[in-house]
Each structure stands twice: as structure tokens, then as C-alpha cells.
């Protein structure tokens, strides 16, 4: 590539004058000689020789059209088709007006009529053309990446925007391509191989977008962005690219991953469109074979929703957007069901989103540890509530709270619970703890220690969601628990499904063997209730009796119980 600094006036540019007539050559030499180094040729063949020898330093060619041996048109054609030469601008010299169009079509940059009666005009045109050509080189250098000759990211984004202005109705895909473990290729096989991989992939991409309105750039190291008309054949595209890479470098453990945001929303800004494709691509991290993934709007919205819940939790707690609801549990062993206790279940009344169900935020907060804060809030609220009812009705309605597996790792768990209970004037056995069965199977020795400690302090522990974990009979026999809560899914079809019924029977037998009562959760109908009663289930919780309700509403169950005493 030509070495230059932008329009450096100290460098004398070199100009080639090609004309078969000596007088014309002399005249141009005279006009240009003061500012430029001028070299001369008498015909096309001689000229081509000089051009090739001065390829890197030649700034301009001034070309007569009618010459012996090889005329100007032929030479223009050769220059235009030569990748190295076509950057050199050519000014055509002729007296024929009709030649103008043809020479411009052949790639001439400008046209100077003979005779040369206005030297200042000639000098000005020459200077302008050289500057233009040099600017073009600078632009090309900054807008493309040296290694792959694809656009650089900044220019790529500009061209995408321009594309949208010209073709607002064309359906486009934003695509991100990465080489899997590219740094390892560099480390194991050397930088040259790494470069070859990138150039090969760039060639594949160029082939993919040629003949379309597609655009591409190398974004950074091994990451490529492609903006192309919508298509459905990414499976085939990725396979072809991989085959070409394998062929180029000669080993097979190379693969690419590709994230596609298909049919982009043109109102979204360009950077965001590619961020979106990146989201799809990052889901493929860790894959060892070539693969692609489409951006999934639903998934992304879910992620954004989760993100929002996480950032807003603290504020929501301080603004009391979280409310504890209570669902009654009824003892059905006697003639009439009797209220025995309640389960505290959290509700989030969000000022904009409305009621957010625990299913949306509990697993999320469990995964990032926020659940501890929330649970402690519920534990305190529940204790305050038990005390308030005790004072109001003279009855203790034990309340069970959920203890998630994250809480169990908290070293001061039992001290904290004891403090909550005592500071509300209650005893530990007024308070029930629900721990899901799967927590036991995750980390059995720690949880058994913790549960033993809690029970020694007087707390009652219920095993929640029983039947869904993988407790062995061995482990169950050794487990310190006070009740089993059957998982809802066995109850749902208990009347219709013989297998579920037998499962419940089995779990009831296990409970009998362990000597603990059984709570059936999710009981919605009279039929389910009757069946469970017949099967000797002890306690029922479910919509049949009541949904989880606010404390005020719950009081009617306490009043009923009081009246029947």
C-alpha cells in the first residue's frame, strides 16, 4: 500500500504522462514539472511497464487515448482490472468530446481537453484528483480491518444505518459469529494459523453476503458481525463455513458458534440489535461443536423481568410491598375438619406489575441468595401474626414458614429463629418450619445436624414437597422430622389416576412407619378430600378449604374454631 501522510506538501508526487506526441509530453511536463516529478511513456506498452515499476509511488496517470502499439482504452481496461493498480487515478487527455463518456466508463477519474491552453486549470485538477485518491486510501484503511479487509465496527454500524435508510422494508438478520476457543488455536498452533482461521472465516462471510445488500465487520479478535437479508438456512451456512475452515487449516477440532437475531426490529438501534444476537450467541458458550441459536424474545423478556425483580426487591421490602398470606390446614381425622395451623406464603403487590406470584421470584431469589432476607421478613411477620391472634382470640394458631435450602447454610439460623419467637412472647412449638425434601438430598449431613438442633430447641419441622426428592428409605428412617407434606402433584389426579393413588398410599405407609402425620397439599375437591380421608391422611391444605388469604380474612377460620370448642 502506498505510504503517505495526509496531503503532505513536502513529498513530490510522481505523475506519469502517456502520449505519443513529443510536443504534448513536453507541454505537460512544463506545466507540471515545477510541483511534480514527471515520467513519460510514448504508448500503452511502455506505460504499463513504467506503471508496474512505480506501482507504489505513482500518484497519477495522464493518458492520451489514441496511440500506436497499445492505445489508451486498452491500458485503462488493464488498470481497472488490476487490484493493485486500480487505486491510481487516471486523467484522460483528448480533443474528442465523444471519448469522454467511454473513458469515464472505463474508470478514468477525470478528463482534460486538448490543447492545454489553461495551465492553472490543469494544475488545480491534478492536485484535486491526487488528494481525492489519497483520501480514499485513508478512508479505506480506517474503515476496514487490516487482517480480514472487512469493515471495522464503527464504519459497519454507519453502513448498517445507511442500509436502513435506503431499504427500510427489507427484512434483515443480525448475526454474530465466533470461533470456539479461538485463544487455544492461537496458543496451540501459532498466530499464523489463528490469522488464517480469521481470514478464511472472513472470506466465507464475504461470499455469504456478496450479491446481496449484506454487510459485515470483524468486531474484535474472533468476533464477526453480519447484517444480511433474512434467511432460514443457518444450519447449512454454519456447516459450510466449518467445512471450509477445516479444509483451510487441516485439522478438524475447530468449530464456530453463531447467534442470530432474525428479522430485526428496525426501530431498535443498531448496537442493540447486535447485543441481542450476542445474547443468543452467549447461550452457546461452552459448546464444542459448531452450533447456532436464535434470539428468543420470550426468554429475553423473562431475563429482563427477573433483572427488574432483583433490583427492586430491597425497595419493595422497605415499602412493604410484600405481604404474608395465610392458608389454613385442617385436621380431618374426626367427624368435622378442625383448623390446626396455617402456612405463611408470601405475596408481592408490585405498584406497576400488580400481584407477582412467588413462582416468579422465589426460585430467582433462591438462586442469588436474596431469599434469606425475604424469608427472615416472613418469619418475623408470621411470629407477629401468631402473637396478634393469640392476644385477640386467646388461641395459638401455629404457623408454618418456609425455610429454603439457602437459609439452612446460615450458621446462626437456630439462634435467629429462637430470637424471633421469644421476642414475640411465643414458644418454638407455636412455630412450624417447612423444609423441602430436595434440600435433604442435596446436603444431607448438614441439614440433619441443623434440623436436629432446631428440634432440640422445640421447633417442629415438616418435610415439604415429599415424593419429589430422592430420599432413600434408609435416610428417611434416620431423619428427624415431625410431619410429611405430600407434594401436590400426587394429589392432583388422585381420583382418576391409579398410579398416583398407589404412590400416596405408599407415602402414607412410610409416614406411619416413621410415626409422623401426613399433610396433603393442593386438595381442591370434595372427592379428593373423601378419598384422602378414607386413606387415613391426617391433615389437608388446599383450595377446597381456602386459598391463601390476607390475615383479616383468615380470622373467620379462627372464629369458627373458637365457636366449635
Residue 402 binds ligand C2E, judged by CB under 6 A: yes
Residue 462 binds Ca ion, judged by CB under 5 A: no
- Tell me how far, at minimum, the Cβ of 158 lies from Ca ion, in Å: 56
- Tell me how far, at minimum, the Cβ of 474 lies from Ca ion, in Å: 23
Which is nearer to ligand C2E, 44 or 522 (by Cβ)? 522
- Tell me how far, at minimum, the Cβ of 247 lies from ligand C2E, in Å: 54
Find the angle CA(77)-CA(82)-CA(88) to the nearest 5 degrees.
85
- Tell me how far, at minimum, the Cβ of 522 lies from ligand C2E, in Å: 4
Residue 134 binds Ca ion, judged by CB under 5 A: no
CB of 75 closer than 8 Å to CB of 48: yes
Which is nearer to ligand C2E, 227 or 557 (by Cβ)? 557
Identify what 362 binds: ligand C2E, Ca ion, none; CB under 5 to 8 Å per kind: ligand C2E
Binds ligand C2E (CB under 6 A): choice among 61, 92, 198, 346: 346
Find the angle CA(380)-CA(386)-CA(391) to the nearest 5 degrees.
125
DSSP helix/strand/coil, 179: strand
Which is nearer to ligand C2E, 200 or 541 (by Cβ)? 541
Residue 524 binds ligand C2E, judged by CB under 6 A: yes
Give the H or E element holding residue 438: helix 437-442
Place of cell 513530490: 12
The number of beta carbons lying within 10 Å of the beta carbon of residue 265 is 11
- The footprint of ligand C2E on residues 533-552 (CB under 6 A) is 541-543, 548
Which is nearer to Ca ion, 20 or 434 (by Cβ)? 434
CA atoms within 13 A on the CB side of 314: 3
Residue 465 binds Ca ion, judged by CB under 5 A: yes
- The footprint of ligand C2E on residues 226-265 (CB under 6 A) is none
What cell numbers appear for 530 in the block? Answer: 373423601
**Residue of closest CB approach to Ca ion:** 434
- Tell me how far, at minimum, the Cβ of 513 lies from ligand C2E, in Å: 24
Identify what 194 binds: Ca ion, ligand C2E, none; CB under 5 to 8 Å per kind: none
Based on C-alpha coordinates, what's the Rg of the chain? 40
| Phi, psi (degrees; rounded to nearest 5) at 353 | -90, -10
Residue 522 binds ligand C2E, judged by CB under 6 A: yes
CB of 24 closer than 8 Å to CB of 47: no
What's the maximum distance between 2 C-alpha atoms anywhere in the chain?
129
Residue 359 binds ligand C2E, judged by CB under 6 A: yes
What binding mask, one character per residue, do residues 437-476 give for ligand C2E by CB under 6 A, x or -? ---------------------------xx-----------
- Tell me how far, at minimum, the Cβ of 345 lies from ligand C2E, in Å: 4
CB of 144 closer than 8 Å to CB of 136: no
Binds Ca ion (CB under 5 A): choice among 20, 430, 464, 538: 464
| Phi, psi (degrees; rounded to nearest 5) at 16 | -105, 125
What cell numbers appear for 439 in the block? Answer: 434440600
Query: Which candidate, 295, 278, 264, places its Cα nearest to that of 171?
Result: 264
CB of 114 closer than 8 Å to CB of 93: yes
Binds ligand C2E (CB under 6 A): choice among 64, 375, 462, 538: 375
Give the torsion through C-alpha atoms of 389, 391, 397, 399, to 10 deg: 70
Instruction: Report how far residue 60's alpha carbon sits from residue 127's, in angstroms, rounded to the nearest whole number.
Output: 10
What cell numbers appear for 211 in the block? Answer: 450479491
Which chain residues interact with Ca ion by CB under 5 A? 402, 434, 464-465
Which chain residues interact with ligand C2E by CB under 6 A? 327, 345-346, 357-359, 362, 371, 375, 378, 402, 404, 464-465, 521-524, 541-543, 548
Amino acid at each position: 500500500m502506498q505510504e503517505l501522510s495526509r496531503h503532505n506538501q513536502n513529498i513530490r508526487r510522481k505523475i506519469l504522462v502517456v502520449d505519443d506526441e513529443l510536443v504534448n509530453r513536453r507541454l505537460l511536463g512544463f506545466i507540471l514539472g515545477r510541483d511534480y516529478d514527471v515520467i513519460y511513456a510514448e504508448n500503452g506498452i511502455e506505460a504499463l511497464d513504467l506503471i508496474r515499476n512505480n506501482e507504489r509511488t505513482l500518484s497519477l496517470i495522464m493518458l492520451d487515448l489514441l496511440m500506436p502499439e497499445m492505445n489508451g482504452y486498452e491500458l485503462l481496461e488493464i488498470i481497472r482490472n488490476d487490484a493493485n493498480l486500480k487505486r491510481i487515478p487516471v486523467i484522460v487527455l483528448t480533443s474528442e468530446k465523444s471519448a469522454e463518456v467511454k473513458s469515464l466508463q472505463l474508470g478514468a477519474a477525470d478528463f482534460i481537453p486538448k490543447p492545454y491552453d489553461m495551465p492553472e486549470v490543469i494544475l488545480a485538477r491534478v492536485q484535486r484528483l491526487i488528494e481525492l485518491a489519497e483520501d480514499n486510501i485513508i478512508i479505506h484503511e480506517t474503515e476496514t480491518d487490516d487482517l480480514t479487509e472487512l469493515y471495522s465496527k464503527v464504519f459497519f454500524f454507519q453502513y448498517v444505518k445507511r442500509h436502513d435508510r435506503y431499504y427500510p422494508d427489507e427484512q434483515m438478520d443480525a448475526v454474530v459469529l465466533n470461533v470456539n476457543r479461538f485463544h487455544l488455536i492461537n496458543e496451540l498452533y501459532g498466530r499464523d494459523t489463528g490469522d488464517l482461521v480469521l481470514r478464511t472465516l472472513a472470506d466465507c462471510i464475504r461470499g455469504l453476503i456478496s450479491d446481496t445488500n449484506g454487510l459485515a465487520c470483524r468486531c474484535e479478535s474472533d468476533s464477526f458481525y453480519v447484517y444480511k437479508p433474512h434467511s432460514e438456512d443457518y444450519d447449512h451456512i454454519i456447516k459450510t463455513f466449518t467445512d471450509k475452515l477445516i479444509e483451510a487449516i487441516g485439522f478438524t477440532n475447530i468449530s464456530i458458534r453463531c447467534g442470530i437475531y432474525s428479522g430485526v426490529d428496525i426501530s431498535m438501534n443498531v448496537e442493540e440489535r447486535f447485543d441481542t444476537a450476542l445474547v443468543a450467541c452467549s447461550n452457546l458458550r461452552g459448546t464444542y461443536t459448531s452450533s447456532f441459536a436464535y434470539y428468543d424474545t420470550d426468554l429475553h423478556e423473562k431475563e429482563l423481568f427477573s433483572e427488574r425483580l432483583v433490583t427492586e426487591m430491597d425497595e419493595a421490602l422497605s415499602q412493604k410491598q410484600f405481604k404474608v398470606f395465610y392458608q389454613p390446614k385442617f385436621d380431618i381425622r374426626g367427624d368435622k375438619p378442625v383448623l390446626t395451623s396455617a402456612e405463611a406464603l408470601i405475596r408481592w403487590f408490585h405498584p406497576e406489575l400488580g400481584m407477582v406470584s412467588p413462582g416468579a421470584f422465589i426460585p430467582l431469589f433462591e438462586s442469588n441468595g436474596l431469599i434469606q432476607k425475604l424469608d427472615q421478613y416472613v418469619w418475623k411477620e408470621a411470629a407477629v401474626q401468631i402473637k396478634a391472634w393469640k392476644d385477640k382470640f386467646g388461641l395459638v394458631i401455629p404457623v408454618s414458614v418456609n425455610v429454603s435450602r439457602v437459609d439452612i447454610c446460615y450458621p446462626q439460623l437456630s439462634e435467629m429463629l429462637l430470637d424471633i419467637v421469644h421476642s414475640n412472647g411465643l414458644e418454638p412449638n407455636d412455630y412450624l418450619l417447612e423444609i423441602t425434601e430436595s434440600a435433604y438430598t442435596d446436603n444431607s449431613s448438614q441439614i440433619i445436624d441443623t434440623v436436629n438442633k432446631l428440634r432440640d430447641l422445640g421447633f417442629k419441622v415438616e418435610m415439604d414437597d415429599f415424593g419429589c426428592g430422592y430420599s432413600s428409605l434408609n435416610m428417611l428412617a434416620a431423619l428427624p422430622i415431625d410431619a410429611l407434606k405430600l407434594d401436590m402433584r400426587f394429589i392432583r389426579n388422585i381420583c382418576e389416576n391409579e398410579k398416583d393413588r398407589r404412590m400416596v398410599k405408599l407415602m402414607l405407609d412410610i409416614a406411619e412407619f416413621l410415626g409422623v402425620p401426613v399433610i396433603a397439599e393442593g386438595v381442591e375437591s370434595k372427592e379428593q378430600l373423601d378419598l384422602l380421608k378414607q386413606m387415613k391422611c391426617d391433615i389437608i391444605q388446599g383450595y377446597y378449604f381456602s386459598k391463601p388469604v390476607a390475615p383479616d380474612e383468615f380470622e373467620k377460620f379462627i372464629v369458627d374454631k373458637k365457636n366449635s370448642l
